[in-house]
Structure 1
Amino acid sequence: MKVRSRFHQHHHLEAATNNQSIAMRSCQIVMGPAGTGKNLDWLQDLLLEYSDDDYFIFDCPGQIELYSHLPVMKHLCTALQEWGFSICGIDSLFISDPAKFISGILCSLSAMVQLELPHVNVLTKCDLVDEHELEKYLDPSSGYLLETLSNATTDKWQPLSRAVCNINDYSMVAFVPMNIQDEESIEMVLHHIDHAINFGEDIEPKVSQIHPSIVAETMGAM
């Protein structure tokens, strides 16, 4: 797991120990996400070194069970909230067919329910997908998904496919496309994250950025 501020500073959680100390303490500590949960005091001290305006990105492991039903990541998120951090979960996926897309929707929905956080679902690697094909998944219809699944499965699974596709009709999960080659695409993802955590709303506006007539009117009212 990696902690990164908005601009340039970053820390690796494994920096807390070197190879020798890991070998010596292998029976005393647990590494990985579970190890982070058992060393929250160290993580808190690290994060509190920065100012209130810093913006952190946690590059988390990809095992879906850590987010869908195991308590490891939920405990970490709860600790961050108790320390005064605004948290936003980001689930990065890729698509190649309706079956994987439906699977991604279910995984994202499960993580959203388990973590109880503002959530942004990002479709990554969009530079590798045909634009016309991508549009089918950004605003998909259940009819299209069901028809495609029906062509790939037997009649036995039709009721299940129909029930699963209906989840998409409730719009509980939405996706933001990200093309690493397109700066505007990356800015859009960042905008969604900022909006989800209300980043910057507590920053006082600079008087120099306010129109003089508004300043004069405000001073007169006082």
Structure 2
Amino acid sequence: MPLYGAVVVGPPGAGKSTFCAGLCRYLSLAERPCALVNLDPACEGEGLTKFAIDVRDFVSVDAVMKDQKLGPNGALRYCLEQLWKSNWLKDQITSLEEDDCFPYVVFDCPGQTELYVHDHSLRGILDDVRREFDARFTAAHLVDVAQCAVPTSYVAACLLSLTAMLRLELPHINILTKMDMANRYDLAMPLEFFREAQELHRIAPFCGVQPCSLDEDNVEEEPSAYARQLQKLSGKICELVDDFSLVCYEPLDVSDGESVAKVVRLLDKCNGHPCGVHAPQSLIEDATELFLLHRGGTDGPSISVDGDNRGAAGRDREPRRAPRTVRTHNIGAPPPDVGQRGPGSFSWYAS
């Protein structure tokens, strides 16, 4: 069976690690073995995260900075170049195979966008893995919904999403994360506009305008020279993105099981995973509802999904506390009973 997986990329703060944690937790509830792979040599997760494969076991930014006298970005590029030249990652992935089957692999990639915009190392690593294991990957590019609040930032995010699609050359979806916070921002356009990313020239006049005057009636009649140049540049970028007509965004609230389930279906559709076609609908619904029942971050008693629990999931609207991501999934162990914390469990929250 081929190796299937998701390559999670995006700028720092977009929610990549939280998304990877939520994705692995959902797959576990759906009884789909998964393995989380850290490809960030600068990841700071000691004591909080546990990966099936961690590139820091091979090379780390701190060690390279000390030994090679490099800065943070130079050390990060050096680490990925060394990983590309070695067979370490392929050997580690081989060790995940059980009964001629691989788990679903989720790659948590570095946030430095130059690694896949300008550098060839990350793409080379993924290409080598694809050739070795006949792998079917889908790239998921994450963008924080907060970028929509600043028109110039959103235009830049669209350009970055397009660049990632062209450079990685993988089946690709773009995801607008942290949608549960979207109502906190004053947006220049309706949220649907930012999701569809069509006719971007409509947002160019708002570039360079102060956030307090985003209404069309309040746009300055005579913007400054800087604002005029910024609007002109933004307009050209919007025209470029529109010409390709490739960019659109799938909204995601990682605390909402239905939202995560929709993203999982898109990932499966892109890479052709059999579960995306043959998985029983009841199993998908159960995983979604169990995800909702445990979104508050506490371990409850063992439960089964029935009519009462479905109603409880729908009525549960209490504000949730900010989560700490804890990845403890062991793909070598069978899924435990819901509510138990065992070697094969996946705990998303911790107190």
Higher helix share: 1
Q: SS of 2:137's equivalent?
A: coil
Give 5+ residue unaligned stretches, structure 1.
Answer: 206-222
For 1:61 and 1:160, locate their aligned partners in 2 and report how far apart those are by CA, in whole Å. Answer: 28
1:38 and 2:96 are equivalent in the alignment: no
**Larger relative contact order (Cα-Cα within 8 Å, sequence gap ≥ 6):** 2
Tell me the CA shift for residue 61 of structure 1: 0.6
- Provide the C-alpha distance between the structure 2 equivalents of 1:17 and 1:121, rounded to a whole number of angstroms: 30
**Deviation of residue 53 (structure 1)?**
4.3
Q: Is the 8 A contact 2:152 2:234 kept in 1?
A: no
2:195 aligns with: 138
Q: CA deviation at 1:32?
A: 4.8
Q: Which amino acid aligns with 1:43?
A: L
Per-residue deviation, 1:203: 9.2
Q: Distance in 1 between matches of 2:200 and 2:160?
A: 18
| Per-residue deviation, 1:66 | 0.4
Matches of 1:122 and 1:53, distance apart in 2: 26
SS in 2 for 1:111: helix
Compared CA separation, residues 33 and 186, structure 1 to 2 (3 A): farther
- Whole-Å separation in 2 of the counterparts to 1:60 and 1:115: 13
Deviations 1:139-167 (A, max 9, x none): 24435312322645623344323222223
1:44-76 deviation line (CA, Å, top 9, x unaligned) = 111112333421001011001001111111111
Q: Which runs of 4+ in 1 moved over 6 A?
A: 1-5, 201-205
- In 2 relative to 1, CA 160–47 (structure 1 residues): closer, same or farther, beyond 3 Å? same
Paired amino acid for 1:161: S
Q: Which residue of 2 aligns with 1:159?
A: 232
- CA shift in 2, pair 1:88/1:8, >3 Å: closer
What is the match of residue 120 of structure 2? 71
Q: Distance in 2 between matches of 1:202 and 1:103?
A: 32
Question: Compared with structure 1, are the counterparts of its residues 79 and 103 closer, same or farther at alpha carbon in structure 2 (3 Å cutoff)?
Answer: same
Q: Secondary structure at the match of 1:63?
A: coil
* Correspondences of 1:104-183 after superposition (within 5 Å): 104-130=157-183, 134-140=191-197, 141-149=199-207, 151=209, 154-170=227-243, 171-183=245-257
Residues 85-118 of structure 1 deviation map (CA, whole Å, 9 limit, x = unaligned): 1122111111232211111111111122111111
User: Structure 1 stretch 160-169 or stretch 63-72: which is displaced more?
Assistant: 160-169
Write the deviation string for residues 18-64 of structure 1: whole angstroms up to 9, x where unpaired: 9xxx69x946xx97564354244121111112333421001011001
> What residue is the counterpart of 2:292 in the other structure?
none
TM-score with structure 2 length normalisation?
0.49
Q: Tell me the distance in 2 between the aligned counterparts of 1:101 and 1:38.
A: 34
Paired residues for 1:2-81 under 5 Å: 7=33, 9=35, 10-16=52-58, 26=67, 32=76, 34-39=78-83, 40-51=86-97, 52-81=101-130
Could you tell me the percent identity over the aligned residues?
A: 23
> Is 151-160 or 57-66 further displaced after alignment?
151-160
Letter in 2 for 1:191: R
When the two chains are superposed, the root-mean-square deviation of aligned CA atoms in Å is 3.5
Deviations 1:115-154 (A, max 9, x none): 1111111111111112985333112443531232264562
For the 8 Å contact 1:126–1:134, the answer to whether it is kept is no
Structure 2 Cα separation of the partners of residues 70 and 115 of structure 1: 11
Aligned residues of 1:80 and 1:87 also touching (Cα < 8 A)? no
- Paired residues, what number? 200
Partner amino acid, structure 2, of 1:142: L
Structure 1 residues 202 and 117, CA, compared in 2 at 3 Å: closer, same or farther? same
For 2:230 and 2:77, the matched residues in 1 are separated by 37
